[in-house]
Chains A and B, each alone.
Chain A
Amino acid sequence: MLLNASGCLDALVAPEVAAQLDGFVTKTITPLRREGNAPPRIAETAHGMLNAIGLANPGRERFLNDHLPRLRELELPLWISVGGFCADDYAETCAALTDVHAVELNLSCPNVDEAADSAGEIVAACRAATSLPLYAKLSAAHADLPQVARAVADAGADGLSLINTLRGLALDPHSHEPVLARGSGGLSGPSLKPIALHAVHACYTATRLPIVGMGGVASAQDVVDMLACGARHVALGTALFADPQLPQRVREELTGLDLDEVFARAHVVAEPRVFAA
């Protein structure tokens, strides 16, 4: 299944791009409306980009009453990205959602202050609030990511989304001040791919949960690499910014490949001697 990474597409503004995907993942929804961080909010780096958007979103009520009905008209499987600042924030949004394909719990936005509750506690609270499929979106910045993956699996997660952006910094070459108004931002793009492949593989080995793999995916080869490391689904992020026709191109390049056979390779590369977690 080919998806967009959360925050990398507005299907209401660009439905023709969303229509090329097998499902649409929303920007993260928080209980209250957020304008996001002050501009500048993006900066290009040598092999990626930094963003500090800051979870700009209309808030839960407006999303449910206005955005979600319009998204349903697209007739695409909808993955709702849910965020918050404590476990109850996440659980209350989960409880309010019905008839969507899946919920992605954003446990790893680098551009807001993190929720005080642990990933396992948040997933457990959401598990109690909904029977919808729950995907925990984790950061590769955890010192022991497979341990976090096992914790959210034990708490009732149905799958994992890997990875989110990694915190980084870019300086203006003249002033030596941060380019982004917030200072740091989340790094995405081609730089992330090897980190993402390792994270997907390590978490697949640790949990065998279905995984949405993302991070630097820009071609059919990148999709194949993700599947071979254990991802069931693959999401496009930064590369969508540069090419809104990318999903269609990737799809054409994948034609004729046996993707199940590619995924089966994940079991082969799962040998610990090949990849240390």
Chain B
Amino acid sequence: MQRRERLNVVGVDAVGPYALLRLARGRVDPGGPGQFFMLEAPGRVLPRALSLCLAPPGELHFLIDAVGPGTAALCSLERGDAIHVFGPLGNGFDLGVERPLLVGGGIGMAPLPYLAEALRFPPTILGFRSERHAEAASLMPGAEVVIDPVLVTDVLPNGFDILACGPEPMLRALPAGAQLAWEAPMACGYGACYGCAVEIGGELKRLCVEGPVLAA
């Protein structure tokens, strides 16, 4: 059940160029892999939509790339700060797959550590744009890592049920039947703003209520 609560910051760890924001869980349900939360970005008008990266006992972890003022504000949080968190929201991954293969691109790997736990650590391929970005693969020991110009689609084996999150060109290049976690600018996360519409299969879908995980 979703709820909005002010959660304490336990810490922020650097993971390559990204930051892992660790929050005390409070009474917030971590939800399922691929679901997301709206995190208050201090000093900003709108919260930021982030999928859950890990849910160790009593905590919620979010992997964040500081690409703008909101994510930068989140990465600058310190232990002792507190922010409002609303969730879990949206539809996560369907875990009822026989031969899962996790595929992540860049910061799109964010929901995969939590997903890997739920699926008992299936084979995983992660793609990054540089060695430094690839340091984030430390969150998923055993993953196969490729670095640009090699793409995850260059090394994709056949015969797996793909569950993926990453940049839009990567998602659109994956085969039909894959479960894809999409991303879009989102003001509310609960179907109110119509901002997160993405064209999939010729139709505009509100990612927050129909996704963010959709079939390819």
**Residues of chain A whose beta carbon lies under 8 Å from any beta carbon of chain B:** 7-10, 13-14, 17, 27, 35-36, 38-45, 47-49, 51, 53, 56, 189-190, 238, 240-245
CB distance from A196 to the nearest CB of B (A): 16
Interface of B is mostly: loop
Contact check, A238 vs B197: say whether CB atoms are below 8 A apart. no
Chain A residue at minimal CB-CB distance from B70: A44
Chain B residue at minimal CB-CB distance from A45: B45
Q: Which residues of A contact B192 (CB under 8 A)?
A: 8-10, 13-14, 17, 240-241, 244
Q: How far is the CA of A45 from the CA of B69 in the complex (A)?
A: 10
Q: How far is the CA of A36 from the CA of B38 in the complex (A)?
A: 24
Chain B residue at minimal CB-CB distance from A38: B199
Q: Mark B177-216, 1 if CB is under 8 A from A, else 0.
A: 0000000111110111111111100011000010000000
Name 24 interchain pairs, CB-CB below 8 A, sorted by A. A9-B192, A13-B190, A13-B192, A13-B209, A35-B204, A36-B204, A39-B185, A39-B197, A39-B198, A39-B204, A40-B184, A41-B185, A42-B185, A42-B196, A43-B185, A44-B45, A44-B46, A44-B69, A44-B70, A51-B193, A56-B204, A189-B45, A240-B188, A241-B188
Q: How far is the CA of A234 from the CA of B166 in the complex (A)?
A: 41
Contact check, B197 vs A36: say whether CB atoms are below 8 A apart. yes
Q: Which residues of B contact A35 (CB under 8 A)?
A: 203-204
Chain A residue at minimal CB-CB distance from B2: A244
Q: How far is the CA of A40 from the CA of B187 in the complex (A)?
A: 12
Q: How far is the CA of A226 from the CA of B28 in the complex (A)?
A: 35
Contact check, B187 vs A14: say whether CB atoms are below 8 A apart. no
**A-B pairs with lowest CB-CB distance, top 8:** A42-B195, A13-B191, A241-B188, A241-B187, A53-B194, A10-B191, A9-B192, A189-B45
* Size of the chain B interface, CB-CB below 8 angstroms: 29
Q: Which residues of A contact B46 (CB under 8 A)?
A: 44, 49, 238, 241-242
Candidate in B44, B45, B70, B188 with the most chain A CB atoms within 10 angstroms: B45
Q: How far is the CA of A49 from the CA of B196 in the complex (A)?
A: 14
Given contacts A39-B196, A44-B187, 14 further A-B contacts (CB under 8 A): A10-B191, A35-B204, A38-B199, A39-B197, A42-B187, A44-B44, A44-B70, A47-B45, A49-B46, A49-B187, A53-B194, A56-B197, A242-B46, A243-B86
Q: Among residues 85 to 135 in chain B, which have CB atoms less than 8 Å away from a CB atom of chain A?
A: 86
Q: How far is the CA of A243 from the CA of B198 in the complex (A)?
A: 23
Candidate in B4, B38, B46, B203 with the most chain A CB atoms within 10 angstroms: B46
Q: How far is the CA of A63 from the CA of B44 in the complex (A)?
A: 35
Q: At the interface, yes or no: B47 with Cβ under 8 Å from chain A?
A: yes
Q: How far is the CA of A119 from the CA of B69 in the complex (A)?
A: 39
